[in-house]
Structure 1
Amino acid sequence: MTELEREQALQNYSEENIVTLEWREHIRRRPGMYIGKLGDGSSSDDGIYVLLKEVMDNSIDEFRMGFGRNIDITIDAGNVSVRDYGRGVPLGKVLDVSSRMNTGAKYDSKAFKKSVGLNGVGIKAVNALSSRFLIQSFREGETKCVEYARGVVVNDAPQQPASQSNGTLIEFTPDKEIFGDYLYREEHIEPLLKNYVFLNTGLTITFNGKKYYSKNGLEDLLNDNLTTEILYPIIHLHGEDIEVAITHSNQYGEEYYSFVNGQHTTQGGTHLSAFREATARVIKEYFTKNFEYSDIRNGMVAAISVKIEEPVFESQTKTKLGSKDMTPDGVSINKYVGDFLKRELDNYLHKHLETADILQKKILDSEKERKAIAGVTKLARERAKKANLHNRKLRDCRIHYNDPKGDNLEDTCIFITEGDSASGSITKSRDPNLQAVFSLRGKPLNSFGLTKKIVYENEEFNLLQAALNIEEGMDGLRYNKVIIATDADTDGMHIRLLLLTFFLQFFPDLVKKGHVYILQTPLFRVRNKKKTLYCYTEEERLAAIGELGSNPEITRFKGLGEISPDEFRNFIGKDMRLDRVSMRKEDLIKDLLEFYMGKNTPDRQMFIIENLVVDEDA
């Protein structure tokens, strides 16, 4: 910088450059600081669901303090209503708790001992990001109501008599200026509500007339999420501030559901690390054998819920616990979880010898398989390590999901493509900071019914496993989104199915935790001299022709390699269309894979013949 430039810079930096934002303006300008990403409702972590959660958490905290066994939720065309039957916000503070930052009862441990929200931001963020926000408290025959528009008071009604039961009503409509065209989807709301009732036995949530209730807590949670048969009855243990549920299945890997004060910590944290360590240690000590922890945990499906005072999360959206202590007195989470499991899990195994025998057999089977492929595993790891230095299949990105202090970690992704032409187009148009590309060579192997040995023997599978960094579990996952990007033809669909079979067989938790996606790319380009439209369906093509008028130029994309890098940039940026691959208990994954990927060729052949659709115009 020259002396002249330095002097100009000093002159340009004056009192006028210092801006103090109103609380609502700060939230509206930087919504990501408060609710994570925005989104349109197509993903479960989109901002509109965080708004619902922030409101719900207050009602849940009321229930946890012993007030109000019912919560009523109504969502209609983007308008959300949440009514609880707790104590009701103190009438003189209704305005403050909804519009003054760092205001809330949760700073007072007498009122809320082990709550989720301690930052006093929650409903203030909902208020600021809503085109309409109403809060009304009912308390001892009186009510107070305040209504806002984008955080600005539009009606501060005086306190008046009321006949309704105690509690709080909050209504809000997410602001389309912030969220664009959004839609609340029941498939993302239902798991959220189920988790609330699983973690709060005795609570009933009614959502648009449908009731959610749980009698058995985390045992119900595991049963609701299991997609494979369990080997022994679920071990369900309770303590004052801890609840765990543990079982094993024949699936590969480990599968965990962790919670803190009712908050689903999807990225785990100190409580989950303590649980994984303590569970394996207690089981090893019970059998007095030198079992490997990995053999003990292989196939484990478990859930843990802890309640702690003043939890510290690693982000505003509270998906990973950073606290090391259970209480301000300094009782460590490691010691608390370890002591609880040493006492309760050890006692359970001594009392339920049949379960202990089944568990030991599972561990021995895992040990036997691990030892059988030890030589192959060692060679494969060495090969993958060398390949990672000069891996021609992987065009990596700079930021990874497992970076401890990285930015935009939720946006990290890897595209799995078929062939060099498709990977070339994506590589040239991707964001090199956040988007990686892994190129397949032809069709991968059908892994159905094979053991994990094939993951190490097959070079492509081994390199893919190494690129994702999931051999030792999900903690090291390098990309939040694993995106299968294949052509929209029969070969592309087949490759997609082969990859899904691989993930479902060996890394089911990758799918269950919502990390696997299918990339949607346009089938048609419709354009005239003034405008270009990309169409993903036949209906969109017809609509585009209608919009552009007579005789537009229509291009049918037959493969990803045909789309130029300049065009591809439109399809993998902020407007990228993704379909998340989901797993539910009712999907009967084992039966589906058996039918489509197993050795029942005649049955599949008959299915194809009976369901074949012939295009008369072809």
Structure 2
Amino acid sequence: MDNSTNVQYDEDSIRSLDWKEHIRLRPGMYIGKLGDGSSIDDGIYVLVKEIVDNSIDEHMMGNGKTIEIKISEHRVEVRDYGRGIPLGKVVDCVSKINTGGKYDSGAFQKSVGLNGVGTKAVNALSHYFKVSSFRDGKAKIAEFQQGVLTHESGEEPTNQRNGTHMVFEPDGTIFKNFRYIPQFLNNMIWNYCYLNAGLTIVFNGQKYISQNGLLDLLQSKSDPEAIRYPIIHLKGEDIEFAMTHGNQYGEEYYSFVNGQYTTQGGTHLSAFRESIVKAVREHFGKDYAPEDVRSSIIAAVAVRIQEPVFESQTKTKLGSNTVTPDPNSPTVRTFVNDFVKERLDNYLHMHTETRDAIKKRIEQSERERKELAGIKKLANERAKKANLHNKKLRDCRMHLTDAKNELRYETTLFVTEGDSASGSITKSRNIQTQAVFSLRGKPLNCFGLTKKIVYENEEFNLLQHALDIENGVENLRFNRIVIATDADVDGMHIRLLLMTFFLQFFPDLVRNGHLYVLETPLFRVRNKKETIYCYSEEEKQAAVEKLGNKPEITRFKGLGEISPSEFGRFIGEDMHLEPIILQKETSIQKLLAYYMGKNTPDRQKFIIENLKTEKSIEELALAM
């Protein structure tokens, strides 16, 4: 019998939520996925951006050349020196939806936030929120808890410079076990500087400043020894781009709209990719294949448009088709294409060495593609047959490509070693969002090898197909790729070999924050009443002290030793993931050459200088 017919549906069933209740009930609508801070697109970083974006918009309007940001693991402070919020509207601006200065396009013509939600979402999702506005010798302060006003000052005299100071602590009941990771914040701060040449950001006491915009960005992302020609950097009104070609696999783009880093691209990036191909084809008078023109490209593009429309509140993908709200204004595609076509063509006519280097790089890509064509066909036929009965992949029901599914960002592929480890994960996983790919023994060290090996090696080819990344990351099926290996020497080696595979052939996966390492407990400490799982020696000692009276201690050497019933705890809500983060200045080729290349003198020297013998460890322990 269907009990749903017995449920009352009348006037009492209709509920109206106030602004903060709605944000707290449906946070994903406002800040994307929640997360614990281990991923760059987790909500706690969106909270930071929403506050900093307001300060950036003030700077863009010519108010304030410095922004001060302090962030600890759980607390954020942002101080700008703009005009300050009008004192009579301080409370309204942070606690009333659809209230703000950005609806007046004369005041903020090309700002990021136009929906009046951002700061209110931060307020509602914070355990503590404080806003202070300083304006013409007067100050107004308001404090909130979970969006509820707890203190409001009157207008008081102050000697502070004009501007706004905001402090917040994300709510731990919504963002469970969260922490801010400094490397993610560091990349975010640099992006703000690259897009606002001359702006100084003081982040945790360190100054960040860029004088050359996207040229500086590309110099920080590329290895000067590996690029084929000096970076092309062209600027116009409301558009700027920089580009070069390297030797890496894939395409590497950084795209921005009104100062917002659009990690998922959008209409402006699509237009830019198309226009590079058109401009090159017309300049050389040859019908080059698009993939040959763009292979190994490293580029950044930034546009400013009026009233941008993004595909979500988190503003990671531009959906606008026109440059201004006027239906007769040029489309984003036309705007970008006209600029790139004219300016790049002129540049190549004036710089013949760069012109020749681009031609040489395109022709090399064409040769490599044709050489791979035959083996790709055979490998793909093998992969199709294997997919019909692929024992290596235990798939899940949802995928990152399911655009309308809220859980798509939770989709995870665990890459494991051996049957025992994959068996434990398979039995305890969430079949909706978690898949498992099982390796057979140690994968090949692919450093220095060409992409041909991805097709020749059965395991690499099947892994590539499981992820659906053969033609780029646009069709990636899982948001998180998690390397799950034993915490022993062999496990660490397999971890390094897999990281080498992704960095060598699919660096975009790493740059875009999709690659992680699973941390599982090293120890289980228990007595008859309580069990504590410990991820380090320090945690083990604390657990032993807490439980007292000689508790039972188990050392987990491999994933297969953890029973499926226990394993479910470590890949659920409290899963410990360590993201693989590329620093701003990291050169992938140099990194891989150092760790995975032949036994170099530099690596030998490092090992000798840092090697700890059993005797030295005992001496260190006695000295403590």
- State the TM-score, normalizing by the size of structure 2: 0.93
CA distance in 1, matches of 2:429, 2:141: 49
Q: Which residue in 2 is equivalent to 1:582?
A: 581
Can you list the C-alpha shifts for 1:86-124, whole angstroms capped at 9, x where unaligned? 222222222211111111121221111111111111111
Q: What do you get for the CA RMSD once the two structures are aligned?
A: 2.2
Q: How does 1:38-117 map to 2 (within 5 A)?
A: 38-75=34-71, 78-117=74-113
CA drift at 1:176: 3.3
Residue from 302, 306, 316 that aligns with 1:305:
302
* Contact 1:227 1:584 (C-alpha < 8 Å) held by counterparts: no
Deviates more, 1:24-33 or 1:603-612: 603-612
CA distance in 2, matches of 1:493, 1:201: 42
Could you list the runs of 5+ residues in structure 2 that have no partner in the other structure?
619-624
CA distance in 1, matches of 2:584, 2:155: 49
Q: Which residue in 2 is equivalent to 1:27?
A: 23
Residue from 291, 307, 318 that aligns with 1:294:
291
CA distance in 1, matches of 2:86, 2:602: 66
* Contact 1:226 1:585 (C-alpha < 8 Å) held by counterparts: no
Q: How does 1:325-474 map to 2 (within 5 A)?
A: 325-330=322-327, 331-474=330-473
The alpha-carbon distance between structure 1 residues 142 and 547, as it changes in their structure 2 partners (threshold 3 A), is closer
Can you list the C-alpha shifts for 1:368-423, whole angstroms capped at 9, x where unaligned? 11112221111112222332333221111222112232222221111111112211
Q: What letter matches 2:418 in structure 1? A: G
Q: Which residue in 2 is equivalent to 1:196?
A: 192
* Contact 1:225 1:584 (C-alpha < 8 Å) held by counterparts: no
Alignment partner of 1:240 is 2:237? yes
CA drift at 1:601: 7.4
* Contact 1:527 1:554 (C-alpha < 8 Å) held by counterparts: yes
Q: Which residue in 1 is equivalent to 2:320?
A: 323
**Partner secondary structure for residue 406 of structure 2:** coil
* Contact 1:231 1:247 (C-alpha < 8 Å) held by counterparts: yes
Q: What letter matches 2:112 in structure 1? A: V
Can you list the C-alpha shifts for 1:237-293, whole angstroms capped at 9, x where unaligned? 112121111111111111111111111111112211111111122112211223211
**Partner secondary structure for residue 569 of structure 2:** coil
The alpha-carbon distance between structure 1 residues 599 and 143, as it changes in their structure 2 partners (threshold 3 A), is closer
CA distance in 1, matches of 2:186, 2:600: 37
CA distance in 2, matches of 1:441, 1:81: 49
The alpha-carbon distance between structure 1 residues 154 and 380, as it changes in their structure 2 partners (threshold 3 A), is same
Count of paired positions: 614
Q: Which residue in 1 is equivalent to 2:246?
A: 249
CA drift at 1:294: 0.9
The alpha-carbon distance between structure 1 residues 604 and 130, as it changes in their structure 2 partners (threshold 3 A), is closer
Q: Which residue in 2 is equivalent to 1:596?
A: 595
Q: What letter matches 1:36 in structure 2? A: G
The alpha-carbon distance between structure 1 residues 460 and 546, as it changes in their structure 2 partners (threshold 3 A), is same
CA distance in 2, matches of 1:100, 1:529: 52
The alpha-carbon distance between structure 1 residues 6 and 511, as it changes in their structure 2 partners (threshold 3 A), is closer
CA distance in 1, matches of 2:203, 2:562: 44
**Partner secondary structure for residue 376 of structure 1:** helix
* Contact 2:39 2:513 (C-alpha < 8 Å) held by counterparts: no
Q: What letter matches 2:265 in structure 1? A: G
CA drift at 1:235: 0.8
Q: What letter matches 2:346 in structure 1? A: N
CA distance in 2, matches of 1:138, 1:56: 17
**Partner secondary structure for residue 518 of structure 2:** strand
Q: Which residue in 1 is equivalent to 2:119?
A: 123
**Partner secondary structure for residue 302 of structure 2:** strand
CA drift at 1:610: 6.0
The alpha-carbon distance between structure 1 residues 109 and 273, as it changes in their structure 2 partners (threshold 3 A), is same
The alpha-carbon distance between structure 1 residues 176 and 444, as it changes in their structure 2 partners (threshold 3 A), is closer
Q: Which residue in 2 is equivalent to 1:559?
A: 558
CA distance in 1, matches of 2:607, 2:54: 52
* Contact 1:455 1:461 (C-alpha < 8 Å) held by counterparts: yes
Q: Which residue in 2 is equivalent to 1:135?
A: 131
Q: What letter matches 1:441 in structure 2? A: R
**Partner secondary structure for residue 569 of structure 1:** helix
Can you list the C-alpha shifts for 1:129-167, whole angstroms capped at 9, x where unaligned? 223322232333333332323222223322344443322
CA drift at 1:85: 1.8
